[in-house]
Amino acid sequence: MKRLTRFCGFARTRLGSDEKRHEYNCRVSARRLLRWSYLGSVPYERATALQRDVRDRLDKGETIDHLLLLEHPHVFTLGRSAADDDVLVDRQWLASHDVEVFESDRGGQVTYHGPGQLVGYPIVDLNPDRRDVRRYVRDLQQVLVRTLEDYGVSATGAGEQALIGVWSGPRKVASIGVHLSRWITTHGFALNVTTDLSFFERIVPCGLPGARMASIESLAGSRPELGEVAAVVARHFGDVFERQLERVEPAGLGD
């Protein structure tokens, strides 16, 4: 797709006015390719390393945009704005419940990831036409809102900075925390599907004391498989971000 864009840009300087308009419309309407994968359960530390590898390859022009969809074993992650007392349990509790704790360079405070939660890590180059962090967050919210609608859940994306995420009434069903470097994105979102919500009671989720969390299961009574939800998320991501999708197996990531 990058070759197509470069060719069209070259052609514009040489064609007549009518052909210029035709070429311009072609270039604008063409969708960049995005590869997506559902990886199943991946430890947080391994997923972070995978994001960095794909991001570095993308920055060097060695690969294209990716969307990694997966779930994590139990883990609390602390964003750049997190405080130590956002985790409400001691090391003994963490060890007895097999919960790891990691610091993260994403935005936001502390959150929980675990089985039954779909985590999405878009590694996307926002250059040249989507260089707007607020728009990027709004677009992620829209992807999740559309996904939830497909499962019978009415939800909205929050406009206030402190409430960033996706809410169904007073309950938060998805969290968002991102990192951008040279307009390439990492980290992303977490959608509660069949998540054990009791783990959120052991933290101050997203820095919001008393925040009430929800899942597709708790709101709609259904228990969809994560792989199924991943395909729905990918479809809506392609529509919102105007990307042509290509599903790849995990072994093909970064190619």
Q: What is the pLDDT along the chain (255 residues), one digit of tens a residue?
A: 333 332 233 233 333 444 444 443 444 347 899 999 999 999 999 999 999 999 999 999 999 999 999 999 999 999 988 888 899 999 999 999 999 999 999 988 899 999 999 999 999 999 999 999 999 999 999 999 999 999 999 999 987 766 889 999 999 999 999 999 999 999 999 999 999 999 999 999 988 887 899 999 999 999 999 999 999 999 999 999 999 999 998 876 766
Cis peptide before 128 (omega within 30 of 0): yes
Residues 6+ apart with CB under 8 A from 132: 126
Catalytic residues, which ones?
Answer: 206
Query: Nearest CA to 154 among 140, 138, 139, 170?
Result: 170
- Which H or E element spans position 35? strand 32-41
Residue type, 170: P
Give dist(CA 190, CA 100) in Å, integer.
17
Give dist(CA 64, CA 3) in Å, integer.
12
Query: Nearest CA to 221 among 200, 201, 194?
Result: 194
Put simply, whether the predicted model's pTM sits higher than 0.85 gets the answer yes
Q: Which domains does the chain have, with CATH numbers?
A: 1-30 (no CATH), 33-252 (3.30.930.10)
Q: In terms of residues, how long is the chain?
A: 255
Residues 6+ apart with CB under 8 A from 59: 181, 182, 184
| Structure tokens that stand for 23 in this block | 């070429």
Residue 67 forms beta bridges with which residues? 36, 122
